[in-house]
Structure 1
């Protein structure tokens, strides 16, 4: 069993998690990776039991059973080879359905009761860009709501992107030295440096991590062409992708064309943007003050 502290990468969604999981955590030789997409079943069940005990919606909530969850977690860690760092990554651990408010301590405290001492990795992103990316991800689905309708239905969820407030709940549970925040924008501008800092924090070779992540970008935003194609298809009720009806060579060329070109852009309603900027402003200033996150450099609302 590894004698090093396990690592929990807790998200957020649309903050480069897929790249970290596939390119860094899943390939680094000094990491025993337990998380998505090839999840170790015992650790996954242990964390799922913790998470599902924190559902805000009572009908979905299960009873918290720390003994069962702790036993599953320890079984998983018992198979980690000495010298390897166990890393578990699950974006849903910061999802709004598990927090009554951004400072809700339940999930971090219950994680601490189950996994014991651990290092916590949090990746943040400019909140408006994050919300845009979430909507574009939604737009890939079968039934697409107009942006304003989609936003109106999710007003309550936006509180979770007060990153400083959420991070403080993990600090209270795991200790300040065991929590680190990394802005997604650093991954986009200097992926190698971003990877080195994460590797240094979790205790694995940083240069190897930098080499692994260089040039990697997974689960990228859809293209403007794809978004237009998707809207047209759904407007006519064509929920089966048109490409499936083409010969293979033609389908491949069609898919490459649709996926190419510039990334999709979405203009969120100005009133919504102004409201969200006011809402996140103070929390972002605390991110800069307490964590040294260069929020002004990346245009976060301040």
Structure 2
């Protein structure tokens, strides 16, 4: 019975895959929640991580297999915390290799500039207070970490999993293909894990996608709300005015006035910081991807 590992990346329609595709019980059996994956594989310190026990726990979850159904472990947290530079992505790949003897590995990716913009929106959503220019350029003091554009050199993670599981067992699928040709995206994935064509596949090809990222034009309001309310980056709120923060947050999620100008500003910042740095990485990544990344507007060295 095939085991599919899907360790992200963040902001590549992972939530849709988990809530819609991997939730389709005729095709997949999702073995763990984000919280369970965090408890078993991510949160334990290196000194106390027990690979043997984790392997036994995963084996127990895979008992009583269903014919024609693929077991899957899917969570973007397995590619590390992208807002802190994904410092643990290599270690998490090593842990998965130590606990899952044989598996197929699916990495979902996105062109670097649009992905970085989406990461910034996630940062604001989770409580961040910096503008996009400051976010991209911020350099923390020694010993502390921040978003690192080098994290978007996806080939590093692909090659790490290939070293553990074999190159033939690693596939990269771009989010842009999911948007432009969902049936092809799904068929490539299903061929990879050995699923035959089915009614469920055709139903998934028509399932609506959803996006909950706040508009860029609303980011200034959300940053104000983040200075008042409670969030992962600000665990303590100013309790007396916290309701005001919630009100500003709700407005920020709906504020689309000036969205075109906000996107232009964001794109200018992204161009200044990220242009001409991912062509070599994407050329290596192409070896793992069954569709032409250059045609999907990925920066590419010849």
TM-score normalized with structure 2 length: 0.76
Report the Cα distance in structure 2 between the residues aligned to 1:286 and 1:275, rounded to whole angstroms.
Answer: 22
Q: Bigger shift: 134-143 or 63-72?
A: 134-143
Q: Bigger shift: 221-230 or 75-84?
A: 221-230
3-state SS in 2 of match to 1:182: strand
For 2:245, the equivalent position in structure 1 comes to 239
Contact 1:10 1:93 in 2 (8 A): yes
3-state SS in 1 of match to 2:5: strand
> What displacement does 1:272 show?
5.4
> What displacement does 1:120 show?
0.5
| Unaligned segments of structure 2, at least 5 residues | 140-144, 229-240
Task: Please list the CA deviations of residues 14-54 of structure 1 after superposition, one character each: whole Å capped at 9, or x if unmatched.
Answer: 000011111111024121122446x7x5xx36xx443345x
1:117 to 81, 98, 102: 102
- Equivalent positions of 1:142-291 (< 5 A) are 142-151=127-136, 152-153=138-139, 157-207=148-198, 208-223=200-215, 226-227=218-219, 230=222, 238-241=244-247, 265=263, 267-268=265-266, 270=268, 273-289=271-287, 291=289
Contact 1:170 1:179 in 2 (8 A): yes
Task: Please list the CA deviations of residues 231-279 of structure 1 after superposition, one character each: whole Å capped at 9, or x if unmatched.
Answer: 57568973122598xxxxxxxxx89965899797363374753442332
Matched, 1:10 2:7: yes
Report the Cα distance in structure 1 between the residues aligned to 2:21 and 2:254, rounded to whole angstroms.
Answer: 29
Contact 1:35 1:90 in 2 (8 A): no
Report the Cα distance in structure 2 between the residues aligned to 1:121 and 1:162, rounded to whole angstroms.
Answer: 16
3-state SS in 1 of match to 2:178: helix
For 1:294, the equivalent position in structure 2 comes to 292
Q: 1:291 to 1:69 in 2, by over 3 A?
A: same
3-state SS in 2 of match to 1:265: helix
Matched, 1:137 2:137: no
- Equivalent positions of 1:76-87 (< 5 A) are 76-87=61-72
3-state SS in 1 of match to 2:171: strand
> What displacement does 1:186 show?
0.3
Q: Bigger shift: 271-280 or 257-266?
A: 257-266
Q: Bigger shift: 61-70 or 203-212?
A: 203-212
Contact 2:127 2:223 in 1 (8 A): no
Report the Cα distance in structure 1 between the residues aligned to 2:15 and 2:211, rounded to whole angstroms.
Answer: 6
Contact 1:34 1:86 in 2 (8 A): yes
| Unaligned segments of structure 1, at least 5 residues | 54-59, 245-253
3-state SS in 2 of match to 1:171: helix
Task: Please list the CA deviations of residues 57-104 of structure 1 after superposition, one character each: whole Å capped at 9, or x if unmatched.
Answer: xxx6443311111111111111443442111101111125696597x4
Contact 1:10 1:89 in 2 (8 A): yes
1:29 to 14, 26, 29: 26
Contact 1:30 1:204 in 2 (8 A): yes
- Equivalent positions of 1:95-114 (< 5 A) are 95=80, 104=90, 106-114=91-99
Q: Bigger shift: 218-227 or 6-15?
A: 218-227
TM-score normalized with structure 1 length: 0.76
